[in-house]
Amino acid sequence: MNLKLGNEYSKQGLYDRAIKEYRKIDKLNPLYKQAEFNIRLIEKTKHYSIGLPQDTIDTKATIPISNIDSDIDKSKIFDFFKSKLSDICPLLTIVIPCFNASNFIENTLKNIILAKSIPLEIIVVDDGSTDNTLEILQKFSKKYSNIKVLSQTNSGAGIARNKAIKQCKGLYTFFLDADDEIDIAELSKAIFYAMTHGLDLVFLPYQILYVEKSKIDSMYPNDCEIFKTSHSKTSQALLQNSAMNLTGFPWNRLILTELLNRHQIKFGDTVVHNDILFHWHSICSSERLGFWYEVVCTHKKFQSGTLSSLKDHNRLSVFDAILQIYEKLKNNVIFQQNIDMYNDISEKIIQWDRKILLPEIIEEFDLRHKSYLDKKSMESNIKYIQHNNVQNKNKLVSVVTVTRNILGEDNISRNQNLKYFQKMLNSVMQQSYGRDNIEHIVIDGASTDGTKELLDSYFKRGIIDKFISEPDSGIYNAMNKGVKHAIGQYIIFLNAQDYLAHNAIVSLISHMRKTESSYCFGNSITVDNNDFPIGKHDGDMNRVFFGMPYCHQALICNADIFKQVAFPENLKITTWGFALALYLSGLKYSYVPDTIAFFRSGGLSTSEKTRQTYYGELKHLRMYIASKILNISYELYVDMRSMSQDLQSIPFRKIQSAIEKISALKKTNKISVDFLAKFICLFYMKHID
């Protein structure tokens, strides 16, 4: 309502009122990004006069928001962009396994294709049908370029979905049963919600249609209660806990395709319950999950002919399905933290299966149950012993700080710089992680202004643990030296005038361990000389090909990664080269949405003295990325970078030309799919409607 009202005020030229309405929209609202964008447009309008009351503005002379720049029509851009996006990189892949689905697969596909939606692809896997399902699918595939058909001998829905996962190109993936119905418009909204909030897993409400009774019910009571209370969960741990208790349907969630591939998330290969492995693995691998609030899928239930109606020996595979979860995730930290819940839910599934069995199967089922419990008990005892042997090891974190003549020559700058340096030291000493678990190393570049003597005094007082003072060839040569001297399991690089948030290390370490990642980054805040916030840099790996995805002060690395990656010493100012090399190494990363560090304005990257060098390094990296990594022209790279940042800075005709070039490159597989996915995600997050 606030967005619509704000738009109405904007059209009337009542800009103050429009901004007031836009600012009522909460940051968690999916429309927040659009509201922020509209505010920026208003502030650029020539007719917006802060000094004049709104009633004095001639509304006849004002220009509607959408026409502020006649060369830039946002809706025109989006229509063109969407028309090409399916060829470039779809936002969504819908996976549908089929077995003898000729009675309903045609309607299912038509409903998806005919719906006005975001660009998507559909992958349908025929699971050895004996009717004319495959023939129907092939007709659709010939008519619609975004439908891909795969086939296999009859192996089950789980294996069929796994076959499709290898082919998924969409940013997000959704699994649909062949006879179910989907609200594409609502799913599109959920995707935009996921993108704007950086979610890799979103749970979606569903409803159930009892076909023979023509009756629609809401979700199962337990699932209803979880969705109702999800808004009150204040941490990822609580959200994960709630999600684990949901029914493990594949069609009640939207998952980031990169998450599927990075963690090799699969379905089980059993006849029944092949989706519970996917359920647990997707939750335990998620770094940031959320809940949508409108029904997306209508699941159809028939009185007969479904897997849930099986009452014979096929039910015995429930034990294999449950053990597959344990075997796959027994070393996962999040899974281990919720092992009791896994055991409780598994037992409920087993008891539910037992109730519907044919009488002659029960005795065999009970024997399998006992065997399953014995095996699980043995595994748990072994895991407990291993956990106790390692839980107190590898806690040490090395903080590396690089210095060179940090005090300055005059008394005023010396006093100020000393104050900043002490604030940095205090932020390390007062970490909630515990000073005894931190090693603070300072690498000094042979300072001549008293810095070396100051460091010596701090070392003798135990404020820092180690310092080396010797000539170096630059800040990144010094950082690489710091790695060699560090003995911690984890390493953080903190500049002399920057400082950490109180819970920074706890936040990074706990998230890194939960996700089993090699490095983890968060958000940082830019402050002025009085520690007043003047900007922020939220971590976002989607930016890695266009700029620094995070501040290095908000990054923690496992020490082992430096066996593969080092700071490039040919660069003197930007750490983008290191961040890019780290990403291209393929090591697993994670992001924690917390403030980790405070970055003081006026450092090397923001100083007047080094600005030209800094800009030169950035251009060198951009040209290298375009030609050597992405294999595209520098002109196209610059246009794509501009499109991902501000549509107002580039004419539509240039946008049109760039998208045509991207589409042509994609058709010949001459452009990185990973790069395209990140570009499209940035584009939509920046300009989302």
DSSP per-residue letters across 365-408 = HHHHHHHHHHHHHHHHHHHHHHHHHHTTSS--EEEEEEESS-S-
Pairing of strands 206-210, 215-217: antiparallel
Average the pLDDT over 565-586 and give the result.
92
Contact 9, 33 (CB under 8 A): no
Contact 173, 260 (CB under 8 A): yes
Confidence at 52, pLDDT banded by 50, 70, 90: very low
DSSP 436: G
Residues in CB range of 206: below 8 A, 6 or more apart: 219, 223, 249, 251, 252, 295, 296, 297, 298, 299
Task: Let me know if 140 is exposed, middle or buried by CB neighbors in 10 A (0-12, 13-18, 19+).
Answer: middle
Q: Where are the alpha helices (DSSP H) in 12-132?
A: 15-22, 32-44, 74-88, 105-114
Triad 250, 255, 261: Cα angle to 5°: 105
User: What six digits make up the tokens of 9?
Assistant: 């005020």
What gap in Å lies between CA 379 and CA 386, rounded to an integer?
11
DSSP 361: G
Q: For position 136, what pLDDT does the model report?
A: 95
Average the pLDDT over 398-425 and give the result.
88
CA distances from 62 to 15, 72, 647, 651 (A): 10, 17, 21, 22
Q: 524 pairs with which residues across the strands?
A: 537, 597
What is the percent of the chain with per-residue pLDDT over 70, rounded to a whole number?
81
Q: For position 82, what pLDDT does the model report?
A: 59
Contact 448, 405 (CB under 8 A): yes
Average the pLDDT over 407-436 and give the result.
88
Q: For position 46, what pLDDT does the model report?
A: 32
Asked whether the predicted pLDDT for residue 655 surpasses 90, the reply is: no
State which amino acid sits at residue 101.
A
Mean pLDDT, the chain, whole residue set: 82
Q: For position 394, what pLDDT does the model report?
A: 56
Residues in CB range of 445: below 8 A, 6 or more apart: 402, 403, 404, 405, 469, 470, 471, 472, 478
Question: Which of 590, 569, 581, 574 has the alpha carbon at shortest distance from 544?
Answer: 581
What letters, b where the CB count within 10 A reaches 16 and e where it falls short, cover 418-453? bebbeebbebbeebebeeeebbbbbbbbebebebbe
Question: Which of 660, 683, 677 has the alpha carbon at shortest distance from 84?
Answer: 660
CB count in 10 Å sphere of residue 649: 12
Confidence at 251, pLDDT banded by 50, 70, 90: very high
What gap in Å lies between CA 341 and CA 349, rounded to an integer?
12
Out of 8-22, 293-307, 406-420, pick the least confident. 8-22
Give the alpha-carbon dihedral of 376, 380, 386, 389, to 10 degrees. -170
Average the pLDDT over 572-584 and give the result.
92
Asked whether the predicted pLDDT for residue 648 surpasses 70, the reply is: no
What gap in Å lies between CA 194 and CA 202, rounded to an integer?
7
User: What six digits make up the tokens of 517?
Assistant: 């990642």
CA distances from 418 to 283, 424, 439, 440 (A): 47, 10, 21, 17
State which amino acid sits at residue 239.
L
pTM of model > 0.85? no
State the sign of the Cα–Cα–Cα–Cα dihedral 528, 533, 534, 537: positive
Question: Which of 524, 489, 484 has the alpha carbon at shortest distance from 509?
Answer: 489
What gap in Å lies between CA 443 and CA 493, rounded to an integer?
11
Q: For position 359, what pLDDT does the model report?
A: 84
Question: Which of 603, 516, 549, 590 has the alpha carbon at shortest distance from 333?
Answer: 516
Asked whether the predicted pLDDT for residue 42 surpasses 70, the reply is: no
Q: For position 138, what pLDDT does the model report?
A: 95
DSSP 627: I
Asked whether the predicted pLDDT for residue 681 surpasses 80, the reply is: no
User: What six digits make up the tokens of 170?
Assistant: 């969409």
Give the E-state strand segments of 391-543 in sequence order.
397-403, 438-444, 466-469, 490-493, 499-500, 519-527, 533-537
The residue that leads in pLDDT, 616 or 44, is: 616
What gap in Å lies between CA 424 and CA 411, rounded to an integer?
20
The residue that leads in pLDDT, 229 or 16, is: 229
Contact 471, 446 (CB under 8 A): yes
Q: For position 115, what pLDDT does the model report?
A: 78
Contact 439, 396 (CB under 8 A): yes
Q: DSSP 3-state helix, strand, coil percentages of the chain (rounded to 5)?
A: 50, 15, 35
SS3 472: coil
CA distances from 279 to 163, 194, 213 (A): 17, 18, 29
State which amino acid sits at residue 577.
G
User: What six digits make up the tokens of 519?
Assistant: 């490095």
What is the percent of the chain with per-residue pLDDT over 90, rounded to a whole number?
46
Helix (H) / strand (E) containing 275: helix 275-285
CA distances from 670 to 516, 665, 666 (A): 33, 5, 6
SS3 632: coil
What gap in Å lies between CA 3 and CA 688, rounded to an integer?
13
User: What six digits make up the tokens of 37?
Assistant: 């964008």
What gap in Å lies between CA 461 and CA 276, rounded to an integer?
56
